[in-house]
Structure 1
Amino acid sequence: MIEIDPRDLPALSRCFPTGSPGPGTVGEHVLATGNGRWWADRAVLPHSVAVSCTGHVVLRGVPDAPTPETLAPLAGCRIDAPSRFLPALGSAFERLTPWERITWTLQAGPLTATLPMGVTVRHLEAADTEAVHALGPDASWLSASWGGPAGLAASGHAWAAVGRTGRILAVACSYFRGTRHEDVAVHTVPGRRRHRLALACVTSLCADITARGHLPSWNCSVHNRASRLLAWTAGFRLVREHVHYAVGSPMARDRRLSA
């Protein structure tokens, strides 16, 4: 795909779902924050358009427009696309693995989360950048949709459980901020899980999202039991199931010709 200049986005963004939970929030988040990239099968009057952020891709348009060569930049990503795109994706990549996902929205009150002594749940601020960075590589995905630790800390869209020393023990944030829904993500440091710190952060974040006039949403793998359990205890309920596809390396040209 060809990367598209942000100045061309208003017209292209009409190809994508808006105001819906799940994949629809990706394009809206990229438009609002500038964290992500836009692609098209050609520079002028494209037939297929994709938006990517943190390895998540939403692909829409005419399925027979993109060639294996134009799809190659999306290698190694997780692609949400209508089933009509499967032949094109299958011919473009060495691997195409279905990944069943579930989308939830906040529909009930959360269970109560009692905090341990010395732990405070509060908004993250710009001054917390180093504390976010100290969460280490295992949590780097959490801030990626905001451009890194500094972006997440200053976003105004994250709540954290913080110990007496200022160490972040758990954090919940709006991972993708849509025009109507904000998709929630959460991380708890090893050794502090099952203490309901994540639940306390999610509860505060959801109250914040609701106060902004938006609806909290949750998106996870159907096989992620821990995520599903946290979503349920926080008041989220299932609204839809869908599939996106983890793709591998671009398929070699000689393999495509012999297929």
Structure 2
Amino acid sequence: MLTVAPHLLRPWFTPERPGPLVYEHVTRTGHGTVWVDRWPDPRVVVAEVSGNLSVRGDPARVGPEALARFSGFVDAPPEWLPVLRASDPGVAAWDRVIAVLPDSAPTPPPHPGVRLLTPDDVPALASLSADSSWIAKTWGDVEGMLAAGVARGVVVDGRIAAIALPFYVGGTYEDIGVVTEPGHRRKGLSTACAGAVIADIRARGHVPTWCTSPDNLASRGVAAKLGFAHVRDDVLYALRTPIPKPG
């Protein structure tokens, strides 16, 4: 497959909708790649950032060998499942719940312990656990996340306790990701950090969204506290990748 300039493929991912905004994030942040089966006149388009993929087009136009380079969580119409399964017989469906913060939901007040994380916080994030490290993936790495100036967090005794950020940035929506380190859970830090990110997203004129799995009761609880409203159920396909267990 061939790489092309992301902005050339916008019609394939229009209209933008809440959920995994992989293409929009690649286009707007420069992190990630867009692939096509041929150029010009592509028949298949794959947007990818750090193991998160959105696939569009005609699955009959690409064989499983063309997908061998990819692994991760795939946003694709259901007709893509046979070719994904041909590429990885163990591909599994990961059910997702998509929610949007209504305009009527209040912006949470600032929390005194939450602040913008900066490149000076690299040492504090050196202790980030393996279970939480995914939070920086769509920004390249921890350094990229901090350089972007999008992460809000709580630092306790020089170590990161919780982080929230826009995991995907679109033109209308921004999807929030949040993690709290094991020793700091059940203290309201996820809610506080996500509340600060909601304020940032709204200040940019965008709409906050929230994606999680039906069995992730902690994540769903935070979303409910913040006022997110369910808009649809969806699915991602785990391609050569294990489905995470709820934290």
Give the TM-score, by structure 2 length: 0.89
Structure 1: 4+ residue segments shifted above 4 A: 110-113
Query: Structure 1 residues 91-100 or 51-60, which shifts more?
Result: 91-100
Deviation at 1:111, TM superposition (A): 7.5
Q: Gaps (5+ residues) in structure 1? A: 250-259
Specify the structure having the higher radius of gyration (Cα): 1
**2:152 pairs with 1:159:** yes
Match of 1:181 among 173, 179, 183: 173
Whether the 8 Å contact between 2:195 and 2:226 is mirrored in structure 1 is: yes
Whether the 8 Å contact between 2:3 and 2:34 is mirrored in structure 1 is: yes
State the Cα RMSD in Å: 2.0
Residue identity opposite 1:86 in structure 2: L
- 1:143 is aligned to 136
Percent identical among aligned pairs is 38
Whether the 8 Å contact between 2:2 and 2:38 is mirrored in structure 1 is: no
Q: Gaps (5+ residues) in structure 2? A: 242-247
Q: Give, in whole Å, the separation in 2 of the partners of 1:166 and 1:85.
A: 46
1:56-205 pair list within 5 angstroms: 56-74=52-70, 76-107=71-102, 108-109=105-106, 120-163=113-156, 165-205=157-197
1:40-55 pair list within 5 angstroms: 40-55=36-51
Residue identity opposite 1:234 in structure 2: L
- 1:39 is aligned to 35
Aligned residue for 1:138, secondary structure, equals coil
**Closer, same or farther in 2 for the Cα pair 1:199/1:61, shift >3 Å?**
same
Deviation at 1:18, TM superposition (A): 4.3
Whether the 8 Å contact between 1:132 and 1:153 is mirrored in structure 2 is: no
Query: Structure 1 residues 43-52 or 58-67, which shifts more?
Result: 43-52
**Cα shift readout 1:209-240 (whole Å, capped 9, x = no counterpart):** 10110111011112211111111112211111
**Cα shift readout 1:169-213 (whole Å, capped 9, x = no counterpart):** 111011111111111001111111010011111111101110110
**Cα shift readout 1:51-88 (whole Å, capped 9, x = no counterpart):** 111211110011211111112112x3211111122222
Whether the 8 Å contact between 1:4 and 1:43 is mirrored in structure 2 is: no
- 2:23 is aligned to 27
Residue identity opposite 2:74 in structure 1: I
Deviation at 1:110, TM superposition (A): 6.9
User: Aligned residue pairs: how many?
Assistant: 239
**Cα shift readout 1:32-68 (whole Å, capped 9, x = no counterpart):** 1121122222344220011111211110011211111
Give the TM-score, by structure 1 length: 0.85
